[in-house]
Structure formats: C-alpha cells, structure tokens
Structure 1
Amino acid sequence: MKYSFWMLCTTILMGSACNPAEEGDETVNFTVENNAELALTDKPLVLKRTAIPGVDDHEGKFPLIISGRDTIPAQWDDMDGDGIWDEVFMVMDFSAKEKKKLQLAWVAEKPKFPARTSVRFGLREGADIPVHTAQSDTLPADGLPKSVGYQPYQTDGPSWENDKVGFRHYFDGRNAKDLFGKKTSQMSPEDVGINSQGAVEDNYHVMEDWGRDILAVGNSVGLGGVALMIDGEPARLGVTVNDSINNVENSVFQIIEEGPVRSIIQYDYLNWETHDRSYDVQEVSTIWPGMYAYKNEVSVKGLKGDEELLIGLVNINNDMDLAEIEVNDEWVVLLTHDQQSYEKEWWLGMALILPKSIYQGFSEAPESGDLSNSYLAKLTIEEGQSVAYYAVAGWELSDEQFADREYFKSYVVDLVNQLTAEVEVAWAK
C-alpha cells in the first residue's frame, strides 16, 4: 500500500504541504534496484541510520520515503534500546530487475500508517486481577500456572501477526509456538484470550470473523520452537503443562518493536538447566507483511561443543510424508501438508526454511514424553552465534488454494526465492 505524500503533508507538516522537506531541509535522491529475475512482493528494505546522507544534520527528525507523489509506509526502529532510531524499515513491490527512484525528506513528526503487523501481550498478577497490556515480563521458575494456581498470560503468552497469519508463544514455561489462522487482512482484536471481565479465557478455539487457533501442539515445541540435542537425546527448553517448576531460572520477554510494517519480540531464557548443564538462550521473532511466515533467530551460550540446535515442526494430525526440498544454495525446506488442524478439519501446510550451510538433516521426537510428536530439524550451532530460519503456515481458509499440496509447496519455494533476492540501495552523489 502507498499513501499520498501530499495528503500526509497537509496533516503532519501543516503549512509546508507544497514542499516535501521542511523549510531549510534538502531532500535526498536514491535508487533501489531488484537484482533478481523475479517479481518481489512486500520485499523488506532496511535503510541503516549510519548509511543515510546528512543524518547528523537532522537531529530529532525522521526520514520520510517518497516515490513520485506517494509516501512509502515505514517505521523508525530503535534496535539497541538507546532511545534513538537505528534504521528505517519498509516493504516494497518490484517487477523483475526493476529499479525505483525514491526521495528522502525529513519531518519532525512520525506519520501514522495502517497496521499490517501487531503484537499482543497481556498479563495479570493474580487470579482475580484483570489482564493488562505490557511491554515485557519476567517469569521465574516457580511462576508457572501449576505453581501459582492461575494462567498469568493472555493467550498463554505473546501473540504476533501480520496481514496473512498469526502465531503465539507459550511463555508459561512450555515455550512452544502455536498458530492462528486468519481469514482477514485486518489485525485480530486486542481482547482475544480474555473475557469481558478481563480474565484469561480460552475463547480462541472457536471460529470468529478474523479466524481462530487451528493447530494442536501437545508436547511438541510447535511450529518453529527450539530445543537442543544432547547426547543423542532431545532436551526441551522449559517444561510441560503438568509441571510446577521450570527448568529455566528466569524467562524474560520484551517487545522490541511493534509497528505498521514490522514487529519484533525477544525472549531470554536465563540459566536453563538440563543434562547437568546450564545454558542461556535468546530468541528473536520478527514478522513483516505479505508472507505466511515469521523469522526466528536463536543463539545459545554455555555450549560444550557436542550439541545440535533443534527446530520443531509439530507432527500431530499429519499422516502424509515429510518433504525435504533443497531450494537453492542458501536454504533447505522441511514441509508437511495434510488436514493437520484440530480434529483434522482443514487443510494446513507447514514448513521450516532452514540455512543449508548448517543443516544436518532431521530426526523424529519420541511419540510420548516431555518433547514428543515432532519432526526436529538438526542444525550446527556455535557459542553465541545467531541462527536464523523461517516458519511458514498456509491454511485453506486464508487461501483456498492451500488445500492443494503442490500449491503450498510452490508457495514456499517462491517465498524462499523472494527471501534470497537482493535489493541494492544507491544514494545520489
């Protein structure tokens, strides 16, 4: 979507609508070029603060990106938490090999764009205390629902979404990742998972206009959840719903950014004790518009050198074969497709897009136990080094063509090629 710059100027720049830049400011011309031989849809584009010409001369202002007479929806993200934006993020469409001429202008106030991503996180401090929204929380080992006697989190933990699909993370000690199927491009209501009195309530397993929770997770780690392989045995990061004490001393959640075109959330699991070892694990989940997927980045500290990182692909209600697809030199895909939603009611495709250079095949978790019913992709991991991958879900009520296995497979392969494609930024001299 694009928005008339001149309309925005009228509302946010008041008397300077006839000039893209504020009085005394110069605009900057630059180009962005799709180097790939394929069209790109909602391709992420990041402009680093340090790369923008003249940024130090515009302290307290924000760069607005203009294409012709249209303003590109964007956001200004503070990635290091120092209170100053570090990068401009936007998504753009390109035809094959297309080069676009853009303009950067400076404004004093951030424009507001329609939301195409969102994060929802609510918590309560007692069974009789209404849920309130929060930006962060720390869960101690003895703070699990079985220990405190109530579920402290709306939807069991944070949920995040874009205009295509939604996800949620069981921050209540289970650390699995679940799936919300969407039937609309609008963001789902903020009160999903709570009732009219503000109490936590499982009201998202029934169909609403926006969609519903559609995935049975059980004791798997869901779609894109993480674990470690230690001594040939999968070790669960966290516990199950039946446990009262976590094996993670402190789990810390925070919303890094929530914006119209990108949302980022982070988890830090401090002192995870398993197999007579202790680890610190960090996850960063990112979502932007246009894709039936989210990006996840994982790093681990405390490694002994004999571990493998495991990425889960839940295998409940799936009777079809797992597909392993080498798409290009960078990525390999693990993919399932079946009526693998609750009660096998709808067709659902799921996939992991994994870095080929560190992919070591996959195994299957046991059929029972604290980590079960899951395919587990095995990845090489090094101390403190981040590993990035993507988790994909295509539900037939989001797009009826997802009922066809070959269509879903084609979508995932195309998504991999979209993610691999490079867009080059060149600033005018």
Structure 2
Amino acid sequence: MLVLACGVAIVYGCASKGATNEEANTLVLTNPLDVSREEVVTLTLSIDQQAKMAKMKPGMYQTADTWVEALDQDENGTVDQLAVRAQLAPKQTVSIDLNKDLISGTDLPKKTQAELSIGTGGTWNGRKYDDKTGFERVQQLRVPDAHTDHSYFIRYEGPGWENEQLGYRFYLDWRNAIDIFGKKVDTLVLQTVGQDGFDSYHEPSPWGMDILKAGKSLGVGSIGQYIGGAVEHFKQTDSVTCEITTDGYLGSQIDTRYYGWTTSASTTDLSSTLRIETGDRAVEHQIQLSKAVEGFCTGLVKHPKAEKMESLVGTNGWAYIATYGEQSLAGDNLGLAIIYHVKDVDYVKVSDYDHLVVFKPTTKKFSYYLLGAWEQEQNGIKTKEAFSTYLKEKIERLKEPVTVQLAF
C-alpha cells in the first residue's frame, strides 16, 4: 500500500512468513531523484507495527550517516513514530536493520525545538497580565479569555518553533499572523527570546532578530477567511487551545485548535498543525475544518519593496507564490513563500495587505508549506535568483518524495 504523508511516500511491506523481531525490522529508503538529498522522513506506526517493534525504546539512534529518532507520542512507553534523517545519493536505496545497524545515543546536537511559555506569579488586570515574576514553559495551554494582543502573558506573544536555519512564531490572539525570527547562528535560540518580558527581539542581537512586520496581514502562511474583498482573522472564537506535541531532535510540531471560529460569513472549528524539521526552512501547515468554508485562505504580507514571484504549475500540481526583496525589519533581503498543491486551491489573488492563496471549501485534511529565507543566515540565500533556485528544487523534492519501506 502506498500512502502519501508529509511529502514522503511511505510503503508498508511484510517480510516472509515466520519472520521474528530478531530476523527483520528493516527500513528501506529510496531516493527517486538523480540528485543527492538529505531529508527527514517521518513515519507514524500502526498498532500492529508498534507491537512488532516493542523492543525498541524511545530515544536517538544512529548509523554512520543516518539518524533515527524513536518517539513515544502518546507517552505509553511504546515507540509510535520514527523520524529518520538520511543522506541519499542520486537514485540510491539504503536499507537499515533496526535491530542490528543502529547504535543507541547520538552525538547529533538538538536541531529543532517548539516551545510555549506563559507568565507566572502575576495577576490579570483587565486585558493585561501584571506583576509577573517570570515565565514557565508549558506543553499545552487553553488561551485565557482575557488574553489579547500585548497582554504580556505569553512570552513573545505565542508559540515558537525553529531549526538551525531560522525561527517562527505566531500571535496566539486575534491577529493570528505568523512571524519570522531571523537567525545569524545555527544553534537553537528561542528559549532566550523575550525573557525580559518586552519586545527587545525587534532590535539586532548576536543571535538575530524579529525580521518580519506582519501588521494587518497574515504574515507568512497564517490563516483567515477572505470575505467581501477583505481578510478576516481569528478575532472571535469560543476558545483556543495550543499544544507542543513534538519537541524533537529532528522535528518539532505545534497543534492548535480553534473552537467556534466565527466570521461575518460562517462559524467552524479548525485544527492547525505546524511542523518544522532539521535542514528544511519550509514548515508544513496541515489544516482541517469541521465545516467547508468559502474563502478560507493563507497568504504573504504585501510589501512595497518586495517583488512577487510565481511558479508555473508542475506536472503533479505543486506550485508557489513568493516575494523577494528588502522587506526585512533589518532593511535587507528576505524571501517569503507559500508552496501549495493546485488541487486544494480555488484561486490566487492580491488583497489590500496580502498575496493570497484561497482554498476550495472542504472538510478533508490538506497541507501547504510556508517559509522564509533571510540573507544574514549562516550560508543564507542572498539573491532573488538563488531563492528562485531553492523554490524550484523544493518543488522537485515534493514531486518525487523519498520512498520508505518498513518490512517485518
């Protein structure tokens, strides 16, 4: 059976009858492209597969050039997900015996993180959280009813996620825009950002700075509803919950649930899953709505110094909209992009504040990718031409995903 998930082709197979756990738990990865690639492949295991891999413990493992992170997402003591970072030559197939080839532990530093921190020791005074004594990192949060923009309750105003290239955050309030933390270093930094309780991250520092002004836009890849020529954000909801579901070495993930999101045209519940992986500046954003919504959209902030870029649709339907130019808050070059599949999209247009991608009404899950590229990153993308090349290569990888066969 062939299943497409997170841009990766996953093939589940079986070894010959009578095989035991000690005989074969083999992971086979194949690169169908004629170029080298190094990517993270994530596999969610079925109950049967979990039982067959019961001897494997959660943690990091490695071979000479492959890292495997065994995850226990439901915290029941059993591995239920594998994240695999593999280096693959053109057209190469690699087989890994999970029982014999892997060494427990790794010298790989943690390459991703997702976090959410809230104020402690203070009290709510109307819409503001006053007199806090510090911040506490939490795994999940029901957003307080009093919370709004500039309440000073959530550190840097929402959850953050990053890898070695750059970081992101979104405002966990009615604005709901996604913002970018540009990084000059290749280490993880979000745990230090906003600890003074203010927004000093808007100023340059040794690690980098906030580089995107979202204003009234969706920032880069956030969500809203396009109604009557304008985008409505998440200004009215019954409640919102946010959870850090993965804070891993190779990948991290944030799940947000919006209950009773009401606009001038509709009311729906919505689930949002944001995932970042090491080595890839593109963030997958998976969406599911409880009701099919006309005009559900994502977008990129419209900036007067940024040039719009748009791709032709590829043979399997992947395309992008992008902007590039001196649109960072540092006054230098920043690229922004949304990569989408045309089967999911109704139309693309320009609104007052955004370059929009408007999706077809559906209650099925669908995904798109959002990303930034700042010229001050280590080994960063510094020209429009280089950004265009990166986007074309990313689309080729989505067209021809790594295939993974898990055999027992």
Change (3 A) 1:82 1:277: farther
Q: Which residue of 2 aligns with 1:255?
A: 244
Q: 2-side partners of 1:90 and 1:117: how far apart?
A: 14
Q: 2-side partners of 1:110 and 1:59: how far apart?
A: 13
Q: Which residue of 2 aligns with 1:388?
A: 367
Change (3 A) 1:273 1:56: same
Q: 2-side partners of 1:94 and 1:409: how far apart?
A: 23
**5+ residue gaps, structure 2:** 1-20, 123-129
Letter matched to residue 422 of structure 1: P
Letter matched to residue 82 of structure 2: V
Sequence identity percentage = 22
Contact kept? 1:30, 1:103, Cα under 8 Å: yes
Identify the structure with bigger relative contact order (alpha carbons < 8 Å, sequence gap 6+): 2
- 1:4-403 to 2 correspondence within 5 Å? 28-41=25-38, 43-50=39-46, 55-56=51-52, 58=54, 61-62=57-58, 67=63, 70=64, 72-79=66-73, 84-105=78-99, 111=105, 113-125=108-120, 126=122, 127-129=130-132, 130-145=134-149, 150-195=151-196, 200-230=197-227, 232-239=228-235, 247-275=236-264, 277-303=266-292, 307-342=294-329, 345-366=331-352, 373-383=353-363, 385-398=364-377, 402-403=381-382
Contact kept? 2:177, 2:219, Cα under 8 Å: yes
Q: 1-side partners of 2:53 and 2:400: how far apart?
A: 33
Contact kept? 1:333, 1:354, Cα under 8 Å: yes
Change (3 A) 1:348 1:329: same
| Structure 1 position 302, deviation (Å) | 3.0
Structure 1 residues 116-148: Cα deviation after superposition (integer angstroms, max 9, x where no partner) = 1011221115321221111111114432256xx
Q: Which residue of 1 aligns with 2:15?
A: none
Change (3 A) 1:54 1:74: closer
Aligned-pair Cα RMSD in Å = 2.9
SS in structure 1 opposite 2:205? coil
**5+ residue gaps, structure 1:** 1-23, 240-246, 367-372
Change (3 A) 1:71 1:63: farther
TM, length-normalised to structure 1: 0.80
SS in structure 2 opposite 1:166? strand
Letter matched to residue 111 of structure 1: G
Change (3 A) 1:192 1:428: closer
Q: 2-side partners of 1:329 and 1:224: how far apart?
A: 22
Q: 1-side partners of 2:49 and 2:307: how far apart?
A: 53
Contact kept? 2:67, 2:86, Cα under 8 Å: no
Contact kept? 1:284, 1:297, Cα under 8 Å: yes
Structure 1 residues 167-192: Cα deviation after superposition (integer angstroms, max 9, x where no partner) = 01101332110001112211115121
Letter matched to residue 120 of structure 1: E
Contact kept? 1:66, 1:102, Cα under 8 Å: no
Structure 1 residues 328-366: Cα deviation after superposition (integer angstroms, max 9, x where no partner) = 4231110111101116x1111111101121223322222
